[in-house]
Amino acid sequence: MQPTIRQSLSRTRARWALGSLLGLGALFAQTASASALGDAIRQLGASDGLQRSVTLKELGIVDPVVLAGTATQDFYLPVPRGLPLGDASIAFDSRYLKGEPGVSTVVISLNGTPAVSQTVPDGDGMLQRTLPVAQQARASDFVRLGVNWRSRNGQVRCDDNHSLANSLTISPQTRLSYRVDPRDVRSIEDVWNTLPVRTTVLVAGRQLEQASFDSAWRIGASLQRNNRRMTVNALPAVGETLDLRGLEVPAALAGVPAFAALRGAEPRHKLASEAELGALLMLGAAQVSGDIVVADKALQQRLTSAFAALQAQLAADPDAGQALQQWRARRAPLANEALASQQLRALPMGRQMVLAVAADAGARVAGLQEAALQRLLVSDNVTVAAAQPPQWDEAKGIRLSSLGGSPDSFDVLSRGDWTMNFPLSAVASQGQMPGEITLYVAAAPGASATRPVATLFWNGMLLSARQLEANGQPERLSARVPGYALGINNTLRVSVQRQPYSADCNEIPQPYPASVLPAISYVTPGKAEANGSFIGLLPLLGAKSQFLVPASYLSAAPAALERMANLAAASGLSASQAELVVAQADATGKPSMPFVAMEVPVDGAKPLVTVTDRQQLRIRGKSVDWLDIKGLKQLSSAEVVTAGGQQGILWHAIGEWTGGLGEPFLLNRGNIAVIGGDGPLAWVDSSNPETGIPSGPHESAFHEWRNFLSWSVPGIAIALFVVLLLVVLAWAVARSKQSKH
């Protein structure tokens, strides 16, 4: 019996061991499968870096820059301050033309250090170079690209070199590119400084609550004024169609239904479930991503719902479910907690850090930008109770040094230029616009007896010029700043010209230094003058004002917000101080302040421009119509009107608009503009043309009295002469009568 019992026990143990091994094998297989999916989820969101680039055209230099003879030009390309750059380089794009014999050279420098030096051959051709940019973090927020062009075609060293046949043309497509490690982006300031030129604002959906809608347009207008463009992304609803071209779904995620549906989707895909939205968020799809997020309650609910639906599809895989929870806590904290009132936070959202803005904090973002106080935001979480642009100092204005003007001197042989760039928002606040500029220039004595000439340009328009004493002491140039010279982005240029001296060819002409002194140069404000023109409205709209829009805009938020941001920046409307007024259907607006009205009829206004059913454009004249036309598409009109004692702008769309108003522009001519996809196409000025003529730089408050006296004094003198003549004639007649008697 014992052998039989032992044999039976052995068989039982063998079966148990075999069963245990099979069970462990199945468990290991299940664990391995779960780990593969969990690992794939954990790897989502990893990024090689934030790729950024900016061209000269995007900075406002839309035309090629031509250097001829002897010329130097500096360009200031923005980079994030305090962050190391990876793979940073400048793709310099230019074309040379050399039609005369002689030596022509070009020297390209970065931050004053020569990087390329080349002699240009005869003929014409492309001059393209890739210039590496140092990767270390910078205390400044720009890289200075200097281009020095020298063309010598004289037979002897003192011959004139003013030939225009030899030139270098710099393309506006010259580009700075770099990469930023997302781990280095920690503060709100870092996020703002790394925003791309075309910044995407993410909102909860195509239909928004008024508070979120209000914040979004203010953010967009602020971006536009700071040389960026706004694109609005709305989280798609189930049933909406998305463009998924370029979306990559890892093969390891194909077992999850939501990821599988996206992996095999057509380029145009209809969103089938909330789980697919969660998958798109985890994959970092461009259609559901943003650089700035309006973090209202609706957006939090959409994120929570999407991730919960995706979590349900991972119920059979505990490890993958846990990986999703960890990813959500680390990469999408906005799904777990709402922002407090007036709060700004730097938070991760998928592959990048974003600026999360509370639904009621849009005006605070705009105020911080208008006040140039974003450098204070060195933490990742702030609550902004108030942020308003500073009051102008009527006596001192704004110093050019605070706008980024460089104090560095430059050598001038025949001509040297000093330039600086700044947005309009930096010099326009509290209902005031630049009225006068006072600038100090110092120049060293030269060998020639001819005094150098300093010329001041604002956006290429000559404002002032004078001959300098050239004794090394500061000398003053002052000029009125006319409204038509202003732009969304402004370039101030000072050109110093000398007469080279060679002492009958016995000496080689040498350059002598000159310097613009931005620390004591300043821009002072001008008072608002409502004269029925766009220029007259600029300062009024820059203070307390109203923005009137129809309620239908809130139901089609993305496109409406882009247009609103464009028009607000173009009209000078303050993004921090304007009041949003939503007009219900068929209601007329009754503004109580200077205003901008988009497709809202204004009570009491008598516009010259009427748009009927978005199809017919008509511009009235005094006796006949100036224009009456149908069939136009993708156009709009803007007109200055008066209603209820307030001046403002009426805007109407012509045809169907699918996005914003195109490239940034400023309404600074006339009182009527017809606008296309690339900005204003036609201007009409039915106002008094004399209102746009600026007074001279030395005219005081008694200017109008002097104008009055200029014609009244001769008139009074003539009248007195006539009276005196009549008295003499009367006296003569009386004497004649007495002599007869």
Confidence tier at 503 by pLDDT (50, 70, 90): low
Name the burial class of residue 620, with classes exposed (0-12), middle (13-18) and buried (19+) by CB atoms within 10 angstroms of its CB.
middle
3-state secondary structure 596-645: EEECCCECCCCCCEEEECCCEEEEECCCCEEEEEECCCCEEEEEEEEECC
pLDDT of residue 530: 72
Q: Are 436 and 522 in contact (CB under 8 A)?
A: no
The residue-averaged pLDDT of 666-687 equals 85
Q: Nearest CA to 630 among 648, 655, 608, 598? A: 655
| 517-531, 593-607, 647-661: which is most confident | 593-607
The residue-averaged pLDDT of 154-171 equals 72
pLDDT of residue 1: 41
Confidence tier at 553 by pLDDT (50, 70, 90): very high
| CA angle, 52 then 57 then 58, to 5° | 45
Rounded to an integer, what distance in angstroms lies between the CA atom of residue 598 and that of residue 636?
10
Rounded to an integer, what distance in angstroms lies between the CA atom of residue 168 and that of residue 71?
10
pLDDT of residue 300: 95
Confidence tier at 696 by pLDDT (50, 70, 90): very low
pLDDT of residue 77: 92
pLDDT of residue 415: 83
User: How big, in percent rounded to 5, are the helix, strand and coil portions of the chain?
Assistant: 30, 35, 40
pLDDT of residue 738: 64
Tell me the β-bridge partners of 545. 578
pLDDT of residue 506: 66
Tell me the β-bridge partners of 618. 610, 628
Retrieve residue 559's tokens.
């496109």
DSSP-derived 3-state class of residue 119? strand
> Which backbone phi and psi does 149 adopt, to 5 degrees?
-110, 125
More reliable by pLDDT, 356 or 489: 356
The residue-averaged pLDDT of 490-499 equals 89
Computed over its alpha carbons, how large is the radius of gyration of the chain? 34
DSSP-derived 3-state class of residue 285? coil
pLDDT of residue 33: 46
Rounded to an integer, what distance in angstroms lies between the CA atom of residue 270 and that of residue 292?
25
DSSP-derived 3-state class of residue 122? coil
pLDDT of 45 higher than 60 = yes
- 146: how many CB neighbours lie within 10 A of its CB? 18
pLDDT of 2 higher than 60 = no
For residue range 63-119, list pLDDT tens digits in order.
899 998 878 888 989 999 889 999 999 999 999 999 888 888 999 999 989 999 999
> Which backbone phi and psi does 410 adopt, to 5 degrees?
-140, 145
> Which backbone phi and psi does 696 adopt, to 5 degrees?
-70, 165
Q: Nearest CA to 666 among 432, 485, 437, 526? A: 485
More reliable by pLDDT, 154 or 367: 367
Amino acid at 614: R
Q: Are 182 and 331 in contact (CB under 8 A)?
A: no
Amino acid at 308: A
pLDDT of 19 higher than 60 = no
Q: Nearest CA to 338 among 377, 368, 294, 374? A: 294
> Which backbone phi and psi does 20 adopt, to 5 degrees?
-65, -45
* % of the chain residues with pLDDT over 90: 43
Confidence tier at 369 by pLDDT (50, 70, 90): confident
- 560: how many CB neighbours lie within 10 A of its CB? 25
pLDDT of residue 670: 86
Strands (E), 536-605: 545-550, 578-583, 595-598
- Domain spans in the chain, listed from the N-terminal domain onward: 185-383, 544-691, 703-741
Mean per-residue pLDDT of the chain: 83
pLDDT of residue 665: 85
Rounded to an integer, what distance in angstroms lies between the CA atom of residue 203 and that of residue 357?
10
The residue-averaged pLDDT of 333-360 equals 92
The residue-averaged pLDDT of 411-428 equals 81
Strands (E), 42-184: 50-55, 65-68, 70-78, 86-98, 103-110, 113-119, 123-132, 142-152, 166-170, 175-180
Rounded to an integer, what distance in angstroms lies between the CA atom of residue 232 and that of residue 235?
10
pLDDT of 508 higher than 80 = no
pLDDT of residue 463: 94
More reliable by pLDDT, 342 or 227: 342
Rounded to an integer, what distance in angstroms lies between the CA atom of residue 621 and that of residue 739?
67
Q: Alpha-carbon torsion 12, 18, 20, 22, what sign?
A: negative
Q: Nearest CA to 161 among 410, 415, 449, 418? A: 415
Query: Is 0.85 surpassed by the pTM of this model?
Result: no
For residue range 72-85, list pLDDT tens digits in order.
888 989 999 889 99
Rounded to an integer, what distance in angstroms lies between the CA atom of residue 300 and that of residue 303?
5
More reliable by pLDDT, 326 or 721: 326
pLDDT of 514 higher than 60 = yes
pLDDT of 25 higher than 60 = no
For residue range 635-666, list pLDDT tens digits in order.
899 999 999 889 999 999 988 777 778 778 88
pLDDT of residue 687: 66
pLDDT of 157 higher than 80 = no
pLDDT of residue 420: 87
Confidence tier at 419 by pLDDT (50, 70, 90): confident
The residue-averaged pLDDT of 212-218 equals 96
Confidence tier at 626 by pLDDT (50, 70, 90): confident
Confidence tier at 700 by pLDDT (50, 70, 90): very low
pLDDT of residue 705: 34
For residue range 425-467, list pLDDT tens digits in order.
677 766 677 889 999 999 999 888 889 999 999 988 999 999 9
pLDDT of 740 higher than 50 = yes
